[in-house]
Amino acid sequence: MITFKEFCNGQEQDDILDIIERFFVNEGIDVELDRRVFVTDGHEKLVDTSIEKNPTLITALVPNVEVYSVFKRKEGDIGDGNPLLYALKKEKGYVLTNATKTKSRIEYIVREFFKKHGKKDITIMIPSTSDLNSYFAKVVARHCENPKHIDDILVKMTIEEVDDYIFDENSAFRKHYGKKFNYFYSYFRKCCRKMGGDKFKFHHIDDMEMRSVIEHTIKLQDDYWGNYIDALNGKDIIIVDDSITLGNTIRETCKIITECYTPKSLTILTLLSPLYCEDGDKLASL
């Protein structure tokens, strides 16, 4: 029998183990220096894209609501995501080179999700300025085979509407920063000036701590409350978002829906799991 040392043929054993893990064990992505991103079957870097381990259940994120992700983020920039998310959104110069393979994998995992968890009555898309969210919502609606897809019940708040909430004397933002409120409010306004247009865009807030205390960024579309009473009451609803950062938006969405309607159940399906998601069971502490 050949020994491991003989197999290594003079190379460092740790290097050989790394090669074995890289090419035979896990899946993930490769990122080149020129910001080309590859979904690969070789190893697990930054995100788990394997069809064997996904979708991933994220517990303790929204009370009494199951949250699943198609891919599981393992590591990433301290920001709005990792290179795969940037590439899918066509942001920051990242380019997804094997988009066909990636989309095929997304389709497969979503299809398997509904085979296991059953069909839902309604798909609701969380509002986003990204085309990725629309693409993912269409994939979900297609494999869910549900009769109704809703993309206009929720809207992003304007920058000034979010500002009004933050400036309120009882806001979580003001309570969190206390005597330092003016300093951090100035930083918030500086971030808002980068957003362009009038809609509030979370990903321009780089400070994760600040993100965690911005409570309200979406709302029901004006005068739309009564339009969906029959459609949502007593129904199994799946809420779709392209990615989760800290979970603020999906918690707010679930709160709005359950305060205004009486769904039979709510389920969240996202393309990428929350930032700092270490093991799929919890969010790591900031």
CATH number, residue 79: 3.40.50
If we measure between CA atoms, which residue out of 30, 54, 58 comes closest to residue 44?
Answer: 30
**199 and 117 share one domain:** no
Q: What is the pLDDT of residues 137-190, one digit of tens each?
A: 999 988 987 768 888 899 999 999 999 999 999 999 999 999 999 999 999 999
**79 and 149 share one domain:** yes
* Segments in the chain below pLDDT 70: 1-27, 43-44, 76-81, 147, 276-286
If we measure between CA atoms, which residue out of 147, 129, 126 comes closest to residue 137?
Answer: 126
Which of 171, 195, 212 represents a domain boundary (last residue)?
A: 212
In a domain, 117, yes or no: yes
**232 and 141 share one domain:** yes
Q: Which two tokens stand for residue 231?
A: 């459609």
Per-residue confidence (pLDDT) for residue 80, from 0 to 100: 64
Per-residue confidence (pLDDT) for residue 78, from 0 to 100: 55
In a domain, 97, yes or no: yes
**148 and 68 share one domain:** yes
In this prediction the pTM is 0.82
Q: Which two tokens stand for residue 240?
A: 């779709």
In a domain, 79, yes or no: yes
Q: Are the C-beta atoms of 202 and 211 separated by less than 8 Å?
A: yes
DSSP 8-state assignment for residue 1: -
Could you tell me the CA-to-CA distances from 273 to 34, 61, 87, 201 in Å, in that order?
Answer: 25, 11, 16, 19
Per-residue confidence (pLDDT) for residue 73, from 0 to 100: 86
In a domain, 21, yes or no: no
Q: Are the C-beta atoms of 190 and 149 separated by less than 8 Å?
A: no
**63 and 191 share one domain:** no
Q: Which residues of 182-213 are buried (b: 16+ CB within 10 A; e: fewer)?
A: eebbeebeebbeebeeebbbbbebeeeebbbb
In a domain, 42, yes or no: yes
In a domain, 58, yes or no: yes
Q: Report the number of distinct structural domains present in the chain.
A: 2
In a domain, 12, yes or no: no
Per-residue confidence (pLDDT) for residue 47, from 0 to 100: 86
Q: Which two tokens stand for residue 259?
A: 């305060």
**44 and 96 share one domain:** yes
**261 and 181 share one domain:** no
If we measure between CA atoms, which residue out of 77, 76, 73 comes closest to residue 278?
Answer: 73
Task: Give Cβ neighbours of residue 231 (< 8 Å, ≥ 6 apart).
Answer: 122, 148, 150
Q: Are the C-beta atoms of 268 and 239 separated by less than 8 Å?
A: yes
**36 and 112 share one domain:** yes
Could you tell me the CA-to-CA distances from 110 to 71, 87, 216, 280 in Å, in that order?
Answer: 10, 20, 29, 17
**188 and 243 share one domain:** no
**137 and 173 share one domain:** no
Per-residue confidence (pLDDT) for residue 28, from 0 to 100: 84
**111 and 191 share one domain:** no
In a domain, 7, yes or no: no
Per-residue confidence (pLDDT) for residue 24, from 0 to 100: 41
β-bridge pairing 148-150 and 56-62 = unpaired
* Domain carrying residue 171: 159-212
Question: What SS3 class is residue 4?
Answer: helix
| Runs of H (alpha helix) within 45-96 | 83-89
Could you tell me the CA-to-CA distances from 270 to 68, 102, 126, 242, 249 in Å, in that order?
Answer: 6, 15, 10, 5, 12
Per-residue confidence (pLDDT) for residue 79, from 0 to 100: 59
